[in-house]
Amino acid sequence: NLALEDIHLHVETRLKEIIGPAAGRLHTARSRNDQVAVDFRLWVKAACAEADLALKGLITALLARAEEHADTIMPGFTHLQVAQPVTLGHHLMAYVEMLGRDRSRFADAMKRMDECPLGAAALAGTSFPIDRQMTAKALGFAGGPTRNSLDSVSDRDFALEYLSATHMTGLHLSRLAEEMIIWASQPFGFITLPDAWSTGSSIMPQKRNPDAAELVRAKAGQFLAAFTRLSVVMKGLPLAYSKDMQEDKEQTFDAADSLMLALAAMSGMVGDMQANVPSLEAAAATGFSTATDLADWLVRELGLPFRDAHHVTGTLVAMAEAKGADLPDLTLAEMTSVHAGITDAVFGVLGVQNSVASRVSFGGTAPAQVRLRIAEWKEVLG
């Protein structure tokens, strides 16, 4: 009915059709301001819970793949250059940690928004003897009623916190999507994404484009834009309510829809991707990835200061590079020509398997450590 001003009048009119004139009492001790605030809080609370559940699903998918590949060697990178060997399981578990923090952000936001604005009325409260504790409990607000009527109707920090958590989650999803895109490319060949998460080219029949991952990557900008847009709406508003605040919902609803879609898509891709183990292990053995292991061995076994060990290792790397070989391909004679104290025991640390197995510090990439972290997370998820 276009003659009715807003949703509140629609509700009152419909209630009048059902119960008669008593519906006119519906607006007693209430304002559109506090009713909108309570409705929006309830919606954002539900959106936080949905995000948490979807994040749990993605974490579960990552845990399954990490456990499957706790021993699978791959190159670890810094600056996108081969740095040290790690395991694929360890790499995937890094995203589990990130997404776990994202869950905590949504949970924290829910705690702070779990107070009921109903009864704040337009801005000053009401003269009617209402029971705000009762209405807060009936509506499921564990924190009870809000404590200041002006604040109750004039802030949207709960929505901003939700959008901030959404933005951070989007960043993590975008980074994972970017890696999957790189890994699926022919120069890397680390993983294969099935056709369900790829599309073909209109003119190049050999192509399998990782479109789903690319779209997830793009969503990060949308989440940041939503947070920025609402921040700009709120940044200069005097207390209490202003009509500007009507512009709080469009970007929040849109971000929520996109977040759930991105999480579902990423869960599917993680669950269905196939790791190309030979390619991963071959790449891990390139780029002098065990150079740090050699330097550590020189410190540990020969007592060299690390700075000296770094220099010796750099000289050996240059020697191997000149030969078109890797460090394990150097002969003992070549190594002792750089430092006479090197023995054939050094070859025990130059293999990528030995390198990974040696990283037994808490949180390290050794398969045993990876499995411990997986077990801990399974316990957390229940």
For residues 125, 130, 132, 136, the Cα torsion angle rounded to the nearest 10 degrees is -120
Calculate helix-pair angle for 157-184, 32-68, nearest 10 degrees. Answer: 30
Q: pLDDT-based confidence at 4, cuts 50/70/90?
A: confident
- Predicted pLDDT at 6: 81
Residue 323 has pLDDT above 60, yes or no: yes
How many Å apart are CA 29 and CA 77, to the nearest integer?
61
pLDDT attached to residue 312: 94
Q: What does the pLDDT read at residue 293?
A: 87
**Has residue 375 got a pLDDT over 90?**
yes
Least Cα distance to 50 among 165, 222, 215, 176 occurs for 165
pLDDT reading at 207 higher than 90: no
Given this model, what pLDDT does residue 222 score?
Answer: 95
Residues designated as active site = 79, 201
Quote the tokens at residue 284. 């891990």
pTM of the model: 0.90
Residue 135 has pLDDT above 90, yes or no: yes
Task: Quote the mean pLDDT of the chain.
Answer: 93
Distance CA 158, CA 209 (A): 38
Residue that the structure tokens 């369900």 belong to? 196
pLDDT digit string (tens) for 223-261?
A: 999 999 999 999 999 999 999 999 999 999 999 999 999
What sign has the CA pseudo-torsion 11, 14, 19, 23? positive
Token pair 């060697």 is found at: 73
* The pLDDT of residue 249: 95
Please report, for residues 37, 112, 155, 159, 340, the alpha-carbon distance to residue 142 in angstroms, rounded to integers and kept in the order given: 16, 10, 19, 18, 71
The mean per-residue pLDDT over the stretch 357-364 comes to 93
Say which residue the tokens 């694929």 belong to: 88
CB 23 within 8 A of CB 38: no
Between 304 and 206, the more confident residue is 304
Would you say residue 328 has pLDDT above 80? yes
302 — pLDDT class (breaks 50, 70, 90)? very high
Give the whole-angstrom CA distance, residue 151 versus residue 12: 26
Asked if the model's pLDDT at residue 202 lies above 60, the reply is no
CB distance 227 to 252 below 8 Å: no
Q: Tell me the DSSP string of 145-159.
A: B-S-HHHHHH--HHH
Q: Are 113 and 158 in contact (CB under 8 A)?
A: yes
Which of 41-50, 202-211, 281-290, 348-357 comes out lowest in average pLDDT?
202-211
Q: How many CB atoms lie within 10 A of CB 363?
A: 14
pLDDT at 3: 81
Give the mean model confidence (pLDDT) for residues 172-201.
90
Share of the chain above pLDDT 90, in %: 78
H-helix or E-strand spanning residue 191: strand 191-192
Q: Is the pLDDT of residue 200 over 80?
A: no
Helix (H) or strand (E) segment spanning residue 192 = strand 191-192
